[in-house]
Structures are given as structure tokens and as C-alpha cells.
Structure 1
Amino acid sequence: MAESLVDDPRLAGLMVREAWRRARCALGAGPLTWLRLAGAAPDALVALPTPLRAGDPAEAQEIYSGTFTLAGTTAHAEGVSPFALVPSSPLWARELHAFDWLRHLAAAGDALAARNARLLVSEWIGARRFGAGRVPYEPDVASRRLIAWIAHAAFLMEGADPAFARLFLKSLGREARHVKRVSVGEAPAGLPRLRARIALAYAALCLPAGRARARAAAKALAAELDRQIFPDGGHVSRNPEAIPEILADLLPLRQLLLDAGQPVPRALYSAVDRMLPALRFFRHGDGALALFNGAGAAEPRLLAAVLRHDETMGEPISNARHSGYQRLAAGGTVLLADTGLPPAPALSGEAHAGTLGFEFSSLGQRFVVSCGAPGSRSESRRHASRVTAAHSTLTLADRSSSRFARHAALGRFLGNPLIRGPSQVTMEREDEDGLFAFRAVHDGYAEDFGLLHERRIALSAGGHRIEGTDRLAEAGRRCVAFEGRRRAAVRFHLHPSVVVEAVEGGLRLQARNHAWLFAATVEPEVEDSIFFADGSTGGGRRTSQIVLGFDADIVDTVFWSFQRELPR
């Protein structure tokens, strides 16, 4: 059901603020902006960062041939500039203009790749000078581009002719002024606003801006980090994938400050020191991140590069209370669960309705997962990945525990934020000798169905057994509209590498060199599912899910368990 802006004043307020923000950004788009950003061109870069994002030389060959695969979509620029193409999607255009793909050319590292990179940068500068639409001026796109250009400036400048060097340095100055005048003030809440502060800090350190400006930029970044990074190291978006993305920019920046003899703000040190353990908190035994709230297939090389800076290497915390997640780990088994409230509507454009969903891995192999965010981010797949049924948790009447604002205008402006989700999630740990456990309750179904969802999950000390209970309790209100139609389903989405077969007493889940036995008090059904978060395909691998279907008006509690099979 599409949400009415009149019915929800919060959405109307968000719409008005976003429309006004976009209008202000639009004033900064067009040929005249190029003139307004004129200023003194820097003579040289005074510092250069060491980027952590690794590139792929094979991708450099594709780019050289005119093939640009971005955001899961491929476009061919044969004989023309890629910036002259009609973009296949807004997301493809944003990725193109953000220039993160420069890392692939830098990874090739040869003279041909460098010439190609300089040609593409020169083409972009020429296209922008005469107007290139609004996408290049969007705050987050501009911030990412500034970071990418500075990160790969050494690669671009080495062996370049003086004409390109002057053009590039002059454009860097313009880009920094644009981010300062537009991106910082107009960037949407959350990661885009933080990235704008990071970009300005890079510019203040690498361009000849002076120590005072560098200190001011670092101080402003520190304040934004205090606002966006939880005490347990999570990000306000509640997306685990945001953590390595932020660290990939913060760690080289911290080193730049140290190399320049500039004081590193305490908030920056603290944020890094909190986020590194949080990153380990969200990792499964195979090194992949948990797929909650917009997380997809994170780059393994980026995770490894970031974690090399983690000097603590202690055991991750078990209760990320501020971020709203739980971790149970023992004997090579890792279980992660979402026990938090959805992010605020302004931050929830990519968030998922997966409250009380969980995932688990065993001996380096993921067994139960969420479907994860698709690499292509097509609208239909994006929505399918966000619903409650795409998570390993309970659904009622095929409804999500959080509702999505599906109004057409909202989709264009706010990205379909979560609304009317759980207003309260209570959680308590029940760890005892020989057991790691938690119990959590959410009220996301109380308004429509008059029911609360309570989930308890326990992991044995040896990590060989998982026991779960899903219970539907009366919320103290009667919902006549759904009376008699409260069909419930508990879902367990399986990783694509897991093979499931029926055995006496339940199901056997086989993956690589070991297996788990699943049993429940409700007859399990095996149904088709899809795993969106697959890095090799951009999302969309077929897989299976276990479904425990029952009538909530007859059955109120379901027990289930996973038992690791002993070696024969």
C-alpha cells in the first residue's frame, strides 16, 4: 500500500526538506557553476595519501576497450567518451562520475593505463566545463570524486605533460571549492555528509591550504564522526558495510595527518579504534560481513587491507547494544542477529525490514544468511531484498515488520524509507555456563495484527548446537481486520553452497566438509530463494530456504534447532 504524505507528517517534512535541498543543489549545477568556482590554482600537491582500495588490472583492460561495468550494469563507449553516453541508470551515472574506477587503472600501473586515465579525466573536465547535467554536482558524487582524484593523483601526474598537470591541479581546486560550498551543507544525512567532511580534510592536507585550514577541516570531521559513529563502532545507518567504506578513507587520512605533523583529533582516533573491532564483530567465519540493512558483497581485499590496521585483535564484543546487534560465537560457529530498531526515516533509504533476523556460519562456511543487497540495485531486486521475507526471521501474512514508503514521489526523493516499523525492541542476554543466548521482542506486528514477536536463540559452549524459539504473544490490542488471517512463517535462507536434503527427523544441510541437522516442532518445507549479495554475479544466485509455516491463531510457539553432525 502506498503511503500518503498527508497521513504521515514525518514523510511530508522529509519530502519538503529533500525537495528544498535538491533545489539548492540544482543552483550549483550547470556551466555557470564552473565560472563561480574559479580561484587560484594550486602549484602542486603538498602530500599524497596511500589508498587502501585495491584495483583489478583486468578491469583496467575493460576500461581501455571502452567497457564500463558499474553498479552491476555494463555500458560500451566505443569511439566516444563515456561521459557522452546516455546513462543506463542514475546509479551507473553516479558511479561513472565518482571516479572510483580509477583504482583499476592505477592497479595496472603501466604507461598505457596512465595515459588512458589522464585522457578520461581530461574528457570529464571538458564535459563539465560546458555543462554535464546534475549528477556530477551531487554532493556525494562530488565528494567521492575529490577523494578518488587525490588518492590517485600520483598515478595521474607521474609522466604527465605540463598542460595536463596544470589542468588537473586547477580542477582539483575547483572540486575542493565545490565540496566546501555545496556538498558539506547539502549532502543527505548519514554517510554522504560524513564523506563530504572526509573529502574536505583530504583537500586541506594535500592541497596547499595551510595548517590552520587543515586543523579546521580535521576538527569539523571529528565532530561529524562523533555524530555518526556509535560508541560500539557501528554506523548510524546500521549497515555493516558502511564500516569498511568509512575506514578505507579514514585510515589513509589519519596517516596524512601524522606525516604532516598535524594533531590527530581525539574523535578521529576514537572512531577508528571503535570501528575496527566492530568490523570484526560483523565478520563470519569465511571473512564475509553479515548481510543486514543494505550490506551486500563487501570486497574481501578491502576488508583485509583495513583489518591489517587493527592492532587489538582481541575477541569481538558479544553485545553491540548501540548498533542493535548480537553475536554468539563458540567452537568455530558464529551467529549474528539484528536486535535493534530500524534507523530513523532520513537514514533508512537502504535499510531492511529484518528485525530479529539472524545468520550463522560454521568452520568457515556460511549456512543461514539473509538475501543481502543486490549489486545491481535494480528497483525490483532492491525492494525484494529489503522485505522481511528476505531475512531469516518470522513474517506474518507475508507482511514486513517495517513498512516501506512506496509513494512514487518518495521513491524519487527519499529512496523508500522505512516507516511504521518496530517502535520498541527489548533485548536481554542470557549467557550462562555452557550457553550463549539472547532473548528479544519487537512490536512491528502489534498495530496490524495485535501480536509481538519474541525470539530466543542459544548457542552451546562447544558451538555444535543452536536452539531457537519463536513465539507470538498478544500485544494487548485486538485487530479485527486481520483476525483469522494471521498465517505465520519462520524462514531460514541458506547460502547457495549449502545442499539440503530430507532425513529422518528433519533436514540435513551439507556444505564442504561438514553438515548440520535441522529439526523443528513444525514440519519444515524447502522452498526456492535467491541470494542477492553475490560479488561474482552482482547478485541473483538461486538458493533454498527452510520455511516453517503455521497458523498463528492455533500455534503460538515454534521450536527449532541446528545440530552439527559428528564426523563419521
Structure 2
Amino acid sequence: MSFVTAFTDKFYAVLICKSKSDTEFILETEPRSLGKISAGRQMVEGKINLVGQVIQNTDEVWNLKTNEKDFENKLHSFDWVDDLAALSSVEARQFAQNWLFSWMKKYSSGVGPGWTPELTGRRLVRWVHHHLFLTQGFSEKKLKKFNLLLARQAKFLSKRAMKTSEGLPRFEALLGLIYAGCYLKNMEKFIEPATVALADECHHLINSEEIVFSRNSQDILNIFTILIWAKLALKDSNWNPSVTHLETIEKLAPVLRNLRHSDAGLPRFHGSCGDVDGQLDQALSNAESRKTSLSETSVGFAKLSNSRTTVIIDAAPPPMGKKAVKADASTLAFEMVSGQRRVFTSCGPGYLFGSDLSLVGRQTSSHCAVYIEDRNSSEFSSVEGWFKASKKMIINGPSTVPKEISNHEGAGIFEGAHDGFVQSYGLTHVRKLKLSQDGYTFEGEDLMIAIEDSHKRQFDKVSKKNRNDQLSVNAAFHLHPNVVVRLDQENNRISLALKNGEVWIFNHGSDLRLQLEPTIFFENGLFEPLESKKLILSAGLLEYGTRIKWSLTRALDKDLS
């Protein structure tokens, strides 16, 4: 967001909040945003963690000084109301009302970080979803002020929704404006311009690289959910969504269906935390579309799926540029899920626990990927912003990522390669993954190879420079925290026990070194990252070609899930 845009937002917010407005609900809607009962219970008990910011004194939450933009967004969007409404106890309602009253007292004049179009849209939607929960027991005076602020936020969105950043922020702002028009008295005039603007955004989204750019599956799901909620709101008010709006839903549904793991979650790449608490299945159900993707990949992700086992691979170059500040160096990394249990996963988005950890989960070594020494397959660099803390973005990475998905006797086979190590070591990473027809065997073969003469010269140059210390190539396999690891050194194998009773056996070539090391798992809603384990297979870099072979086989099936 530019300085001029931010200043203009503040100007309109203050100006509109000086005007007199009046509204009330003309329609009620069910709460469509889902929360976690466990998270709501923690908040009521005083255990509050919003995107890495632990809050000790809940009464002073709106006075906290922080440079954490993700925390401010979470707080001022009122997303946390979803969790309290899911709990729906008297204590949860009192907690939500206390925070609501404090926000109304401090920010009703249009000041503060919450008066941006995207945050205002998110906040208005939560107020509409949970207005009965939030306003129960209100005095007439408090209810009048609540409705007054709803009207002011609607008018602010009517002026600024189309001025915010393209992509998810603009969709969030437009949804708030559509909700205001559909559910609030005297706001019906906003429905038509908002639906026209939404159709324009849908057209831009589908006919540009915007949806592919970030490759954050959770952002794609959030946009899809917004389109579903907008469709339902318009139908509540007897308005027909635009053809472009409905066509966009039809196009996004198969993309998300292809990104869906067997546990109803999403892959944990490029800022997505994977665990979406039923949001994906609910949105797909409301989409009323049963189309499946005919493409081998969806927004750069390839998928192998047999029986109840899914494998999703990051099979495209990483997002680059200033907008891709959550992109991972994860080319050719994979995740594996068996039924409802995650087996191999990624560390996930460290930004959930503050900016200090934001880069941790983005490294190549933080994924089920192959790397040389501790080098990333992509290069990170800092980007500075006006009055903002610097962020890391990818400025250089794999440019060529050929891939192919085939089927042999019912087994799904993925073959891909990337050139992320050619410039530094002269080596191309080639990965082959195979999932058996019954989903019980998952095999992998990784090859680091110098292909062209120029690549071999680069490899010779690096080898000569490091002739006293042999370079090593490493294949990392990050395990979900719920996986119990047992190492059988005598038989050179590892057993992985899942909570549902399944046991998987991990085997590897006898020429490889195996290490079991600690790793970290970032999950939304927790106070601190979870500890877990990772398997590291290592081999010395041999002349122009090094191979790592491994397999995972289900040995015992006591599926209690």
C-alpha cells in the first residue's frame, strides 16, 4: 500500500465517521465463518496468542504497541470472534463484548490501523455473521452505536473498496460492501456497484496470473470462500450473482479439489498453514460444482492420489517479487497424507509466530526436499517498505521445472526436475515419485546430476575449491508431530507409527547416511511451535551424478480413525 493510498483511507474514514448514519438489520444470516471451540476456550481462560503475539492483559489489547502487521490485521479484522462464537458460552460472549466495546470506544472516529478497506470488510462480515452473539443483552444506546458503526463502515467501503490492493484484499473489501447492501437497512444501493466491481475482479483474477502468482493455496481458498459467501448473501436478498462471478466459482472449485489432501486440508507451501478446519469442504459443498481438474497440475502443484493416500508436490518455479514475501524455496518438495493423518509435511508458515520466525519455514531444508549442504534452491533477499519492517523475498530460483505425471499398472508416477542448483554447483535435481495403486507403497528416487558441459565445468570448479571437504547432498523428510518414530539400526530401517494404528516402514539404500534430527512444526492457534522429528538421508557428491533412493511401505493397518 502506498503512502498516498494509506493517507486517503484515513481521510475518508475520519470524514465519514463525522457524518450521521443510521441502519439496522433487515435480514439475518447464519454464521458462515467457522471458528475453533478450543481456541475460544483458551481466550476465555486468558491464554491468548494472535499470530505470535501473546497477550497477557486482555483489557489493554487495543493499546499494545507492535510492529507485527499480521497481528494488527488479525486483531482489527475481528476474525477471533469466530472462535468465541464457536464456544458460545456466557463467558465467551462477555469476552467478545468487552473487546468490541473497547474497539468502539477507541476507534469509532475513524482512526487507527483497522480502517483499511480489507480489514473493514473482514470486520463488517464478522459483525454480520455474529451480530446476535455480539449484541445479546445490549442496551438501546449500545445497540444504536453498534448499528451506527456498521453504517459508517459500509459507507467507507463504498468509497475505498476499489482503491485497495488487487487480489485477496479487494475481494475482502467488496464482500463487506455486498454484505452491507444485503443485510443492512438503507444500504441496498451498494449492492449493484459492488456486484459489478466483484465481477470485474473475477474477470481480472481468471484472465491474469494473479491467482498463480502467490501460489498460496490458503489465499486461493479464501478468495473462493468470499465468492461463495457473496453468492449466498445475494441470493438471500433475491439478487442474482453475475455470470462472471459464478463462472469464477466453477473454475476455482476443481483447482481446490485438486489441492485437497485426504484429510480435507491443503498443502503447507508458500504461506499456507494447511489446516483449514472444514472451510474447504464447506466451500466446495456450497459451490454446487462437481468438476474435477483435467490438468496435471493446479497452480503449479502436482498430485498423486490412490486409495486414501495423497501426495502433493510443489512442481513449479517459486513466486518472486515484492508481493511474494511468503514464498518458499520448496521446488520439488512434497507432502504425504494417509487418510486423516499427515505423515510427511513441511515446517509451515513461521510468520504465525512472529516475524522473527517467518523465514525459518521457507528454507529448502524446512521441506521434504533435496538440498546441497545447507544451501537453498532459491535465493532470498530483503525488501524494504515505507515505514515497514524489511521482509525477505525470493529474487532468484529455479526457472526451468519440467514435470510429467503418468500411470503404470494403476500406480501414479511423478517425474520432475529443477535447475535451482545449476548456477551454484552445476547440478540439476531430478526427482521421481511413485505411489502404488493401493496407496500402500510410496517410492522415491532423487538424482543430482551435471547434464551439460558448462554444468560439469561449474561442478569441477566447486569440487576443486572444496577438495578438502567433500560436499554432501541431503534429502529431508519432515514428520508430523503426531508420528512416532522408531529406529531399527540393526536392520537399517525406520518405522513410523500413526495415531490411527497404521505403521509405515521407511527404507533406504545402504550406501546412504541416515540421521534422525529435531525439527519444528508451525500450526495456527498454538502458543509456540511444536517439536517434531525429521529424517535426513545424506550422500557425498560423486562425480557428475549422485543418487538417493528410498521407499515407504505400510506394514500394519489398524485404521481406527
TM range, smaller chain: 0.7 to 0.9
Residues 518-547 of structure 1: CA deviation (Å, up to 9, x unaligned): 233342412323242335635522222222
Residue 490 (structure 1) aligned to one of 475, 478, 499: 475
Give the alignment of 1:389-428 within 5 angstroms: 389-407=365-383, 412=388, 415-428=391-404
Residues 305-353 of structure 1: CA deviation (Å, up to 9, x unaligned): 4354365568x54855340111111132211111022224243111211
2:508 maps to 1:520 = yes
The whole-number CA distance in structure 2 between the counterparts of 1:202 and 1:26 is 26
Q: Is the 8 A contact 2:51 2:354 kept in 1?
A: no
Residue 72 (structure 1) aligned to one of 46, 52, 66: 52
2:539 maps to 1:563 = no
Q: CA deviation at 1:437?
A: 0.8
2:502 maps to 1:502 = no
Percent of paired sites with the same residue: 24
Q: Is the 8 A contact 1:509 1:516 kept in 2?
A: yes
For structure 2, list consecutive stretches of 5 or more residues without a partner in the other structure. none
Q: CA deviation at 1:385?
A: 0.3
Residues 381-400 of structure 1: CA deviation (Å, up to 9, x unaligned): 22110011101111123111
2:358 maps to 1:379 = no
Q: Tell me the residue number matched to 1:250.
A: 227
The whole-number CA distance in structure 1 between the counterparts of 2:255 and 2:309 is 18
2:288 maps to 1:298 = no
Q: Secondary structure at the match of 2:487?
A: strand
After TM superposition, the score normalised by the length of structure 1 is 0.84
Residues 388-427 of structure 1: CA deviation (Å, up to 9, x unaligned): 1101111123111122222565994673222212222111
After TM superposition, the score normalised by the length of structure 2 is 0.85
2:61 maps to 1:82 = yes
Q: Which AA in structure 2 matches 1:434?
A: G
Give the alignment of 1:194-209 within 5 angstroms: 194-208=171-185
2:344 maps to 1:368 = yes
Q: Tell me the residue number matched to 2:106.
A: 127
Q: Is the 8 A contact 1:34 1:129 kept in 2?
A: no
Single out whichever of 65-74 and 199-208 deviates more from structure 2: 65-74
Q: Tell me the residue number matched to 1:4.
A: none
Q: Tell me the residue number matched to 1:91.
A: 70
For structure 1, list consecutive stretches of 5 or more residues without a partner in the other structure. 1-17
2:258 maps to 1:269 = no
Q: Is the 8 A contact 1:352 1:388 kept in 2?
A: yes
Q: Tell me the residue number matched to 1:49.
A: 29
Q: Is the 8 A contact 2:425 2:462 kept in 1?
A: yes
Q: Is the 8 A contact 1:349 1:414 kept in 2?
A: no
The whole-number CA distance in structure 1 between the counterparts of 2:92 and 2:308 is 44
2:144 maps to 1:166 = yes
Residues 454-493 of structure 1: CA deviation (Å, up to 9, x unaligned): 2111112222222222122335434477444553211111
Alignment CA distance shift 1:138-1:490 (3 Å): same
Q: CA deviation at 1:208?
A: 4.2
Q: Secondary structure at the match of 1:286?
A: coil
Q: CA deviation at 1:251?
A: 2.5
Q: Is the 8 A contact 2:34 2:86 kept in 1?
A: yes
Q: Which AA in structure 1 matches 2:540?
A: D
Q: Is the 8 A contact 2:249 2:287 kept in 1?
A: no
Q: CA deviation at 1:160?
A: 3.1
Single out whichever of 350-359 and 369-378 deviates more from structure 2: 369-378
Q: Tell me the residue number matched to 2:5.
A: 24
Q: Is the 8 A contact 1:376 1:539 kept in 2?
A: no
Q: Tell me the residue number matched to 1:137.
A: 115
Residues 266-293 of structure 1: CA deviation (Å, up to 9, x unaligned): 2322333344444443333333322111
2:518 maps to 1:529 = yes
Residues 179-217 of structure 1: CA deviation (Å, up to 9, x unaligned): 343453133x43223222222222232334666641321
The whole-number CA distance in structure 2 between the counterparts of 1:433 and 1:64 is 55
Q: Is the 8 A contact 2:154 2:177 kept in 1?
A: yes
The whole-number CA distance in structure 2 between the counterparts of 1:88 and 1:473 is 45
2:134 maps to 1:153 = no
Q: CA deviation at 1:47?
A: 3.2
Q: Is the 8 A contact 1:234 1:275 kept in 2?
A: no
Q: Is the 8 A contact 1:231 1:322 kept in 2?
A: no
